[in-house]
Structure 1
Amino acid sequence: MMIDKAQCIPATLFTCKDNTCIESISSSDIVVRTEDSGGEAWLDAAACTSLEWQANDYLYMDVTHRSHDVLVVVLRFVDLNQQSITVHFGVLPGVETRICLPLKALAGDELFLSRFPGVLQTVLRGDPSVDRSGIIGFGIGTIASTASRCFTIGSIYLSKELPDFNYAVQPLIDELGQLTDRRWKGKTGSEQEMRVRMEAELSCGDPEISSSPELSVYGGWKELCFESSGYFRTEFDGDRWWFVDPEGYALFSAGMDCVQPSDSMRVNGMEHLLPDLPGKHGAFRDAWSSESEYSFMIANWIRICGTSWRKAWMEVTEQRLKQWGINTIGNWSDGDFIAKSTLPYVYPMHSFPGTSEFIYRDFPDVFSEEYERNAETFASQLMELQNDRRMIGYFMRNEPHWAFVDSLNLTERLLMCDRSLKSKTYLAHWLQAKYGEVSKLNEAWDMTFGSFEELESKLNGLPTTVAAREDCERFHRIMIRRYVEIPAASCRKASPHHLNLGMRYAWVANDDILEGCEAFDVFSINCYQMKPDKEMIKQIADKLNRPLMIGEFHFGAADAGLPAYGIRAVASQRERADAYRHFVEQSAAIPELIGVHYFQLNDQPALGRFDGENYQIGVIDVCLRPYDSFVEAMRDSHARMYNIRTGRVKPFSDPPHEIPKTGF
């Protein structure tokens, strides 16, 4: 059946599942109520197979809810092979939002989808892909929350055309960047209040604030000294690992990510929710980072300091970081600030080497000569930094998107690919070297190849024998090792003095991820947990004979001025402070862990940064006010961390109660 414009999925086909109740159904919408543990309304196989999933390009629906925070709408798809993908959409409270999914996304080639008007971040989770020709299950639900949820879903459509996004004007935030319909302790009442507070801090500030006499010029701890190399390095003292600063002093890196004036907010698609914004070419021109991105925080600095706002921001920020005990400027920080600061820093490399064709998501054709050439070009960015003694080291990249799929086997994706890839040619040669004759490969894999070269074509079905699975797993590891070692070698050549701090993996699903990671000096991971996994950290350190560091962690709270609380959340700012203290002090006590960097300095914009994240995770709010209890916890933990690390005092061991996240 051909679809002229759109095919409506009848609401009457949906049934309840888990903790979800369909409260009412009309000709135009469904009212769904889900308990605090989450749940979904479900469309079964018979209904799914009657829908034209392949004949259409988009699925869309209108969603409204009246909660006080962000609703995470989850669409789930299951195919005949029991492969499952979920798509998570962030929906703001109190406004009708049209969520739209390009159905090609079910191929799994992208982790983060492009934003449509009115929608926050959109993320894929689950298996590598779903076969659109064999969808047998479709669900609509939400994740766990602090309370039950009730939301209305308008008519659900499959369409060949992109729908319209025509929203009524409904401003949600004021000119300072705060939500208009919420009240919370610490909310700034006016521009004048903000001005008085900041002018007082500026007038008594000392940008040349000195470090503790216990610390070296690079922030190292003077009570413990090793051999000096003139640059940062690592050292195992027989009991625990350390960073060693250029003067030879031990360092546990307490860092702050995104030391910038702000995250800019994406304006395009959110105009209906915004107040009138200042012009792009007048006094507030610096608040516009592009034609479509605006920063309320920079605008607030301009309100206070005028054209000298950047100098004032740098002075206040340097003073704050040192007073809080931060000893490292973390990833994605302002380059001008780094140049003028006296604090050590880490460097986030950009433009990780790719190839013209990828195997899956951002995993390149690693046996291509193009990959080797691009790795050398990639490493060249380190050349101008190679003599900078304040630079601890560099991260080659952040959170590879291919590594988000726990069940991924790159050899299987390679065999299913219909593109010409050098890695396919290498796989054929590798198997020929192992089996010698194609008949022996056919016997092992239960296939009917006429030659080894046939492996370079797309396979319609994957081999399933034990031998085939073992071969696929082994070559999967070979590709990951090459993925790591080629650029790491180029970086070592370009910057021999600085530490390779790894790739900041989102998590380590299995040992496959660790292939080649001996090429790093430090293995880095982003850890969104209430505390680090001590056993996992030890296992990785023992396997690689390398220390670990945590490139990101954060906590948000439900009692402040943003409708999303981040990936780990607690109820109050006081508990958020305790969460920070617990995480840092528990980390300092782990012998294999040598640093933790908090994500991030500022709260995210209420209507979302470039990708739609809008988390209450910062040390500073949009009106430039630090969260006092959080700052106090930082000072206390950083003052104690060396005594904790050396066993003189015990770490804080009273974690706060975690509440469900609103992360996407």
Structure 2
Amino acid sequence: MRWRGWLALCCLCGLQPGHAAAPALPDLAGAGARIGLDQVRRVGAVEHAADGVAQQRYAFQPAAHPSIVMTPAGDAWDWSGAGELHVRVQNAMPWAVTLDIEIDGTGSTRLQARVGVPAGPAQTLVVPLRATSPREQGMQVGPPMPFELRGRSILLATTVQGTLDRHHVRAIRLGIPGPQAVQTLLFGKLSVTAGEATLHEAYAGIVDRYGQYTRGRWPEKIDSDAALRAAVMAAPEAAKPAGVDAHGGRLDGQKLRKTGWFHAQRQAGRWQLVTPEGHPFFSLGVNAVNIGDQRTRVEGREFMFTGLPPDRGAWAAFHGRGDSRRPGQAASSGIGHDHGRWFDFHAANLYRIDGAGWLSAWRTRTLDRLQAWGFNTLGNWSDPALGQAHRLPYTRSINIIGDYANVSSGYDYWGRMPDPFDPRFVAATEAAVAKASADVRDDPWLLGYFADNELAWAGIGPQGRWGLALGTLAGEAASPAKQVFIAMLRKQYVTPQALAAAWGIPLDSWKALDATGYAAPVPSEAHPAIARDYSAWLSHYADAYFRIVAAAIRRHDPHHLFLGGRFAVYTPEAVAACAQYCDVVSFNAYADLPQHHIDMARMQALDKPVLISEFHFGSTDRGPFGAGVVPVGNEAQRGEAYAKYLAAAAANPQVVGVHWFEYTDQPVTGRLLDGENSHIGLVGITDIPFGGFVRAVRQANEQAQPSGGR
């Protein structure tokens, strides 16, 4: 590290009055401990902000990581009684600047945080002196920063990583990652305080009685029951679609084969879904049109809610208890407040709107809206009663659960992969398909079945494609998949020495592969047989899974489509196997355009139709803190992104539909399952539609006429 110089500075009292002994911390405006500058220039004399506080201007130069490093005059600071670091900071640039904060302790202990410092007045940057994140608070994304606290603008680092020996703190480092031009910030006093009062205040009182974020304003936000009812009862913006058959097929399209059920047909170079009447049908769907997904945990974090209705009387129906802990599932890892009491703001708001008959009223209103907005399909996880109303075609989910073996691919977001070579998986599949099809197998309004959701077909990183092969060989000796894989290798290579030579590994016996945690080699150019063998295994694995599921569906319901497994992470081998056994290959394709997630050339080569079973665009200007998987800048851009995505999908001859995720915004404080809390809905948790976005969606849906369909 190259230093521009050292300033010997005097000590500054750091803890607030009434707290324990003060460490010697620097005041970056001119007094304190030692300050080192690496690719940073101190600019001019001390300045005073509007509130009279002294600040010093620092110019961070274009470099890999220009930084200010503060060290104690003695050996270390003792922060054993402290809970937060407070830093006075002001951004002198007209744009937000990313600031990294690192606090070094004894040995390798270090805390790290990153914040965006907005342009404008000075902030008090607060860094908790321990690892923390919004997940600890029960949600995936924390409240927007800064926020006002007793007249001060507070910029809390909501995510802090690492560990710190607070008894021996040896340095504080403030840096900007890779600036391309000079970035200027002003710093003032640094101090540490006892406790974590700021961390608590950042989350305190953030949700009102309607489930809305208390510190924000947006057009659809309401403040009374009367305003809620008026906004929800507004008439739909358009009439039900004309020029379609009973199931939504276009009457102006080519006449296709009539089977009495939905099916897929290739005509004039384009794949089409076809209604029971024989008309082309481009599936415009919405996922999770239901009641219950908007429940959020209240136990242990009651301080986050203002005006929470009591758990008695009519409101008791919207309170409940449960446990959302899912061992081995990365999606819920580290999510705090994952059991105990919850509250359903969405259902409670529907009760405020419609009284005792709220559920029936919601179902009718929702179907009216979806048809008025140009949708023609109820996507996955939607209320079964909506499908049974026979106003929109619907899908059915097959959830294969049971006590069967599993395999880790290294991703495991929703859990480990089912082991299709375990006979218990075959039995579980049979039971799941029987249950899913029991009441719908003879219903022509059923579009088809999805099996499972976002299975971990691939791992993480550049070698992620091989994750399932590596995970299989790392499994226990009793793993059915592992034994099948080893049997394949023994048949191909006959002797362990032949496999060792092909893979470039030491292997004295086949028994060595039985070891739990066996570290199989990753593919390399020097040993191409590894990739060939892993690819063969991935194909065999996927073939077994899709063959078993497809056979069960055909036995229990020979009429309806098998819509695939809703790929999120996938391999070429898994997609090829799906295409062999499924009628339609579905992808949860989160990207700016479908072709940036799906290999459309491969799908054309496989000659299979594609259904985009999930996509969305989110922003942070309507309450919930997250912007989903594909964020855009604001609400208006959500509509623009939707129209662009849908147009690209409709223009592709392989694509037969797109399904938006999801109908209702997620709770501000996170849903029960995994703490997701994003603004990605067509309607808010108040059931009020997002007017501008819905208008853009309706217009895009009306214009979605796939080429080749007329």
Is 1:369 paired with 2:423? yes
* Offset at residue 282 of structure 1 (A): 1.7
Question: Paired residue for 1:284?
Answer: 315
8 Å contact kept, 2:400–2:429: no
Q: Per-residue displacement from partner, 1:204-228 (whole Å, max 9, x unpaired)?
A: x89xx98434101000001222111
Question: Paired residue for 1:55?
Answer: none
C-alpha distance 239-354 of structure 1, shift in aligned 2 (>3 A): farther
C-alpha distance 285-334 of structure 1, shift in aligned 2 (>3 A): farther
Residue number among 480, 505, 517 corresponding to 1:422 in the alignment: 480
TM-score (norm 2): 0.69
Question: Paired residue for 1:640?
Answer: 703
SS in 2 for 1:516: helix
Question: Paired residue for 1:186?
Answer: 220
SS in 1 for 2:314: coil
8 Å contact kept, 1:20–1:39: no
SS in 1 for 2:216: coil
Is 1:453 paired with 2:504? no
Question: Paired residue for 1:242?
Answer: 272
Question: Paired residue for 1:395?
Answer: 450
8 Å contact kept, 2:259–2:278: yes
In the alignment, the residues of structure 1 paired with residue 197 and residue 408 of structure 2 have an alpha-carbon distance, to the nearest angstrom, of: 34
Question: Paired residue for 1:227?
Answer: 257
* Offset at residue 453 of structure 1 (A): 3.1
Q: Per-residue displacement from partner, 1:410-452 (whole Å, max 9, x unpaired)?
A: 2222223345212222222212211223332333334454432
Q: Percent identity?
A: 26
Question: Paired residue for 1:443?
Answer: 501
In the alignment, the residues of structure 1 paired with residue 143 and residue 206 of structure 2 have an alpha-carbon distance, to the nearest angstrom, of: 10
Is 1:174 paired with 2:211? no
C-alpha distance 443-621 of structure 1, shift in aligned 2 (>3 A): closer
8 Å contact kept, 1:257–1:330: yes
C-alpha distance 101-310 of structure 1, shift in aligned 2 (>3 A): farther
SS in 2 for 1:403: coil
Question: Paired residue for 1:329?
Answer: 378
Is 1:476 paired with 2:538? yes
Which of these two proteins has the greater Rg computed from alpha carbons? Answer: 2
C-alpha distance 420-323 of structure 1, shift in aligned 2 (>3 A): same
Q: Per-residue displacement from partner, 1:89-113 (whole Å, max 9, x unpaired)?
A: 633345978869899xxxxxxxxxx
Question: Paired residue for 2:638?
Answer: 576
Question: Paired residue for 2:243?
Answer: 214
8 Å contact kept, 2:538–2:574: no
In the alignment, the residues of structure 1 paired with residue 550 and residue 190 of structure 2 have an alpha-carbon distance, to the nearest angstrom, of: 49
* Offset at residue 190 of structure 1 (A): 2.2
- Structure 1: where are the runs of 5+ without partners? 1-11, 53-58, 74-87, 104-138, 156-162, 649-664
Question: Paired residue for 1:596?
Answer: 658
Residue number among 577, 587, 595 corresponding to 1:516 in the alignment: 577
C-alpha distance 319-154 of structure 1, shift in aligned 2 (>3 A): farther
Residue number among 254, 263, 278 corresponding to 2:294 in the alignment: 263
C-alpha distance 67-286 of structure 1, shift in aligned 2 (>3 A): farther
Q: Per-residue displacement from partner, 1:634-664 (whole Å, max 9, x unpaired)?
A: 222222222x53488xxxxxxxxxxxxxxxx
8 Å contact kept, 1:353–1:378: no
Q: Per-residue displacement from partner, 1:370-422 (whole Å, max 9, x unpaired)?
A: 22222222222233121111110111021113535252322222223345212
Q: After TM superposition, list the pairs within 5 Å mapping 1:149-164 onto structure 2.
A: none
8 Å contact kept, 2:387–2:394: yes
Q: Per-residue displacement from partner, 1:124-150 (whole Å, max 9, x unpaired)?
A: xxxxxxxxxxxxxxx999999xx9999
8 Å contact kept, 1:324–1:631: yes
SS in 2 for 1:285: helix
Question: Paired residue for 1:274?
Answer: 305
8 Å contact kept, 1:253–1:594: yes
8 Å contact kept, 1:354–1:364: no
In the alignment, the residues of structure 2 paired with residue 402 and residue 287 of structure 1 have an alpha-carbon distance, to the nearest angstrom, of: 38
SS in 2 for 1:351: coil
* Offset at residue 573 of structure 1 (A): 2.6
Question: Paired residue for 1:312?
Answer: 361
The Cα RMSD (Å) is 4.4
C-alpha distance 354-585 of structure 1, shift in aligned 2 (>3 A): farther
Is 1:564 paired with 2:608? no
In the alignment, the residues of structure 1 paired with residue 358 and residue 597 of structure 2 have an alpha-carbon distance, to the nearest angstrom, of: 46
8 Å contact kept, 1:358–1:364: yes
8 Å contact kept, 1:504–1:525: yes
Question: Paired residue for 1:345?
Answer: 394
In the alignment, the residues of structure 2 paired with residue 558 and residue 541 of structure 1 have an alpha-carbon distance, to the nearest angstrom, of: 35
In the alignment, the residues of structure 2 paired with residue 538 and residue 99 of structure 1 have an alpha-carbon distance, to the nearest angstrom, of: 38
Q: Per-residue displacement from partner, 1:163-203 (whole Å, max 9, x unpaired)?
A: 999946821121112222222233223222122333554xx
* Offset at residue 633 of structure 1 (A): 1.7
SS in 2 for 1:301: helix
8 Å contact kept, 1:218–1:344: yes
1:531 maps to amino acid: L
8 Å contact kept, 1:18–1:39: no
Q: Per-residue displacement from partner, 1:622-643 (whole Å, max 9, x unpaired)?
A: 232212222222222222222x
Residue number among 588, 591, 594 corresponding to 1:529 in the alignment: 591
Is 1:485 paired with 2:519? no
In the alignment, the residues of structure 1 paired with residue 351 and residue 287 of structure 2 have an alpha-carbon distance, to the nearest angstrom, of: 23
C-alpha distance 530-461 of structure 1, shift in aligned 2 (>3 A): closer
